[in-house]
Structure 1
Amino acid sequence: MIDLDTYLQLLGLVQNSIIAGAVLGLVGGLVGVFVMQRDMAFAVHGISELSFAGAAAALLFGVNVVAGSLAGSLVAAILIGVLGARARDRNSIIGVLMPAGLGLGILFLALYPGRSANKFSLLTGQIIAVDSPQLAWLIGISVLVLVGLLVLWRPLTFDSLDPEVAAARGVPTRFVSLAFMVLLGLIVAVSVQIIGALLVMALLVTPAAAALRVSSSPVVVPLLASAFGFVSAVGGILLAIAGSLPISPYITTISFLIYVVCRLVGRTSTRRVRAAV
């Protein structure tokens, strides 16, 4: 255990990570709602593997890691969006992309001659990995994703809940789907910088899944998902400062505990409603 003075000093050193985690938790929670509605949790993992490969390539060739992560994510997102219009096709494409991305990432890391900590952080996150230029990138990308979600909110909601009727009503479902995949790719690339490629679903899937367990309101669910994502990200960082483990185990544990509590609350509420009926 560390004393309070040392903890406060460490807190000042990782303020960029705290800010980035807070922004990521809020925006990731909103994106996660549509991920769950569109049954695309598997796609998040597939995109993260290509994002990992892009970041590893950038690390090997000495270029901006965020840019490499973005490139890998966008390639995966566009491929899934264009080629995987149907769920069966989408899952097949993701199943092909995942091992390819992971294999390329491992190859690039094996060839990288630098510090092993840099390699490990791409998989599990690193609490002090966010410097000021990276923070600017992360906030800018997160704001872009948020604005994109707000612009697409109504047609995206319609397409997520009932794509056949949405298409019949004139909603450009193919464009909406591809645009959402691009936004998803952007936020996955940001998430890899904080929590790592292997556990990115803890911020883009679990908070939204927890929120859907306790509510079905189109207003309450996004608010809860953002709140759960915020608590998971910031709480994980604050706990990781005092420990010696990477940041990702703390974030994933908090996110999982929130989901368990919400599942229990949702089950209790369902039983009460059935008993009343």
Structure 2
Amino acid sequence: MRFQDNWFQILQTTFMQHALVGGSLVAVTAGLMGYFVITRQNAFAAHALAHIGFPGATGAILVGAPVTLGLAVFCVGGGLLIGLFGKRVAEREIATGSILAFSTGLGVLFASLATANASTTTNVLFGNLLAISVDQLWLFGGFTLLVVAALAVIARPLVFASVDPAVAEARGVPVRALGVAFIVLLALTVTMAVQVVGTLLLFALVVTPAAAALRLTARPGAVAALAVAFAMSSVWVGLVLSAMVNLPPSFFVTSVAVLVWVVVLLATRDRGRRLPTPTHGGHDRVPAVPEHTR
């Protein structure tokens, strides 16, 4: 590790500009989805989807296809299976674990056959923000628009279905369909995030910023805005630090995200706030659920 005097010039290079734009797009989608990941108790599913995408990435490497395409196919396919097989939390975890186990084994097989591309496989595991291409930026932009547009349509009923699924279903909200739609959007977010921080560090952008935001407010809109701000700050600061000392940006992105969470946790430790997890049969739920969605 060494300090680079020309770090500002490094930030102006093409690959750094691509990293900044790509990381920002991922931060937007990850921040928006993070609230629902935590509220719906889907943190394990988010982590599993990254590993489910691993055989897609290694398979794409094996056949010479784009890595993003392989990730997207396996993440979305795995997400659909999880959404269809797991209606309740317990059922969803069983389905997720089973699909995860099979996908991991498949990923090991593909990785062993693609030994000539070991560096690319490593990038899938740990991310390589500095290797984002122009084609990937266009794809990330399309994914981001799709996620934002879909959330604009389903956000209100999805909040209701996430906070109290039993009551939402009783009032005619299509809880199962919303769950499948959410898991597909999460799969697209994971597809992008894996290429920024990698399979093993995914939580840094998808869960940690939203967890920090939830310590400050329980209003869904405010949580989403704060989570996007925290995730984007983590990407930007991580890239600057990476340019300064010539180390992988994934380490700094995850470190900044966790540091923000720790600072917020310490600052709010006396407030007695609780995460807005769904309750069944009680009245302790997020106060900001829009009345017209009930």
TM-score by length of 2: 0.87
**What one-letter code is carried by the residue in structure 2 that aligns with 1:40?**
N
Which sections of structure 2, spanning at least 5 residues, go unmatched?
A: 274-294
Fraction of identical pairs, as percent: 37
1:43 pairs with 28, 45, 49, which one?
45
Partner of 1:39, secondary structure, is: coil
Residue 16 of structure 1 contacts residue 132 of structure 1 at CA under 8 Å; is this kept in 2?
yes
Aligned length: 271
1:215 maps onto 2:195 in alignment: no
1:169 maps to which residue? 171
Report 1:1-277 matches (<5 A): 1-5=2-6, 7-9=8-10, 11-12=12-13, 13-270=15-272
TM-score, normalization: structure 1? 0.93
- 1:46, CA displacement in angstroms? 0.9
**CA displacement, residues 37-89 of structure 1 (integer Å, 9 cap, x when unaligned):** 10100000111111111011101110111110000101110011000101111
Offset of 1:250 from its aligned partner?
A: 1.3
| Structure 1 CA distance for aligned equivalents of residues 97 and 181 of structure 2 | 22
Distance 1:38 1:117, change over 3 A: same
| 1:132 positional shift | 0.4
Amino acid at match of 1:193: Q
After superposition, the C-alpha distances for 1:238-262 in whole angstroms (9 at most, x for unaligned) are 2223344433221111111111111
Distance in 1 (CA, whole Å) between partners of 2:59 and 2:210 is: 31
More helix, by proportion: 1
CA contact (8 A) 2:35 2:220 kept: no
CA offsets 1:90-128 (integer angstroms, 9 cap, x no match): 111122222322222222122114343212101001132
Deviation, 1:26, is: 1.8
- Any unmatched runs of 5+ in structure 1? 272-277
- SS class of match (1:190): helix
Would you say the 8 A contact 1:28–1:203 is kept in 2? yes
Q: What is the one-letter code of the residue matched to 2:244?
A: A
Distance 1:79 1:235 in 2: 37
| Shift in alpha-carbon separation, 1:264–1:38, aligned structure 2, 3 A | same
Deviates more, 1:114-123 or 1:235-244: 235-244
Contact 2:4 2:244 in 1 (8 A): no
* Pairwise CA distance, 1:6: 5.0
| Partner residue, 1:275 | none
Distance 1:107 1:51 in 2: 14
Matches of 1:227 and 1:254, distance apart in 2: 12
Q: Give, in whole Å, the separation in 2 of the partners of 1:60 and 1:234.
A: 33
